Amino acid sequence: MDQKTIDVIQSTVPVLESKGEEIVVAFYHHMLETHPELRNIFNKTNQSRLTQPKALAAMIYQAARSIDHLDALLPQVQRVAEKHRSIGVKPEQYPIVGENLIWALKHVLQDAATEEVINAWSEAYQQIADVFISTENHLRDEMLKRGGWTGFAPFTVEKIVQESSVIKSFYLKPVSGNPLPVYQPGQYISVRVRVPGTDYTNIRQYSLSDTPSKHYFRISVKKEEGRGLYPDGLVSNYLHKQVKLGDTLEISAPAGEFTLHPSKRPVVFISGGIGQTPLLAMAKQLIKESPERDILWIHSAKDMHRLAFINELTRLSKQARHFTIHLALSEEQHVYNGIDRYGRIDEAWLKNIVKNTDADYYFCGPLSLMRFIYKTLTEWKIPESQIHDEFFGPKGKLIS
């Protein structure tokens, strides 16, 4: 882009800061009204809760601020591109997105959406779209080289295990009988289902909660319970209540950039609730490949009934002498063997059990826990290169 275009884009930063969410809400509404087939891709829950619009608004705002050095957006581009590849976004859908984004700018900004502004954003969008398309094509090619597939493939539900009162594990085998591609612990797959009584397919991402196998994928799904104005999770409740042994699910090839980074430092895993699933695969892989490496896992659940994988974690701690677990129950009233804390994770407790803070930190769980962990680690002066996190859903803000 020439300097004039860059200047025009940067001049829109203040209005994007104040009206970005309004623009994105209008964008999604108009696009899904004019192209209802895209409802088969976009998560309706994230739309209704505004988590998706807020995430996109934040990304557009950052793009405007960084328009003269777009390389700063590469980590975000990689994360979103992984998701797009997983849910089946196609290059030919990008012009639809661009047309509706420009429409939303005109609709919300009215007279402020001058010809100069619209032309600048049209050019900027095309360049950003080209980066996404190129990245997603590369991800598809790499997956095919590793024995994966494009789109969705049928898998049979071979085994179902009740891990806690709200978590079930599903063991999935390819109908084709072909060996599965090797994936990185921490990655996820997308599951596409048509829930009876709904008009469109629904796609959800679930972390692979076991180490790579040639024969099966394991996902562990929390049954999402409704709160306040929000209903029960559509897909998670469908999987828990209606999917049986022998049923077929449509699965995408593994994706995601939340993976183990090369290092010899100790590792600290911190999780809350269902956030333990990607970390479980990571821990098992580390124990297998680096049995002498110190691994500390801190996990919090609401109560004993919701505490999943306790037997699996106990077996791992007995097998690997450098693997230590600390468990907390945030809302439990009764006392149980093996539980280290009753109440929420706090800094004093973390300081007491994290003996060597010069470690690599991986954490996943509710947003409130993740914000607390990130704030604590930054106050401990842990370098950003040693802090790794995973959001379930659109990327949120760790700084509240």
Tell me if 242 sits within 8 A of 232, measured CB to CB. no
Pair of tokens at residue 255: 């994706």
- Among 81, 77, 93, smallest CA distance to 38 is for 93
Q: What is the mean pLDDT of the chain?
A: 92
The phi and psi torsions of 234 (rounded to 5 degrees) equal -60, -55
Is pLDDT at 394 greater than 70 in this prediction?
Answer: no
Q: Residue 154: helix, strand or coil by DSSP? A: strand
Tokens 């797959």 sit on residue = 189
What pLDDT score was predicted for residue 362? 98
| 215: Cα separation from own chain's centroid | 24
> Residue 72 and residue 66: Cα distance in Å, rounded?
7
> Exposed, middle or buried: residue 317 (CB in 10 Å: 0-12, 13-18, 19+)?
middle
Distance CA 226, CA 300 (A): 21
Domains by residue range for the chain, with CATH: 3-145 (1.10.490.10), 153-251 (2.40.30.10), 267-390 (3.40.50.80)
Query: Of the residues 21, 82, 125, 136, which is catalytic?
Result: 136
- Which is the catalytic residue, given 28, 94, 362, 374? 94
Is residue 50 scored above 80 in pLDDT? Answer: no
Residues 6+ apart with CB under 8 A from 36: none
Q: DSSP labels for 234-265?
A: HHHHHHHHT--TT-EEEEPPPB-S--PPP--S
DSSP character at residue 66: T
Give the pLDDT of residue 189: 97
Task: Tell me, yes or no, if 384 is annotated catalytic.
Answer: no
Q: What is the pTM of this model?
A: 0.92
Mean pLDDT of 320-343: 90
Active site residue 171: no
Instruction: Give the pLDDT band of residue 66 (cuts 50, 70, 90).
Output: confident
List the one residue out of 398, 391, 343 whose CA is nearest residue 373: 398
Write the DSSP symbol of residue 146.
T
Q: Which two tokens stand for residue 187?
A: 């990655």
The span from the CA of 136 to the CA of 40, in Å, is: 19
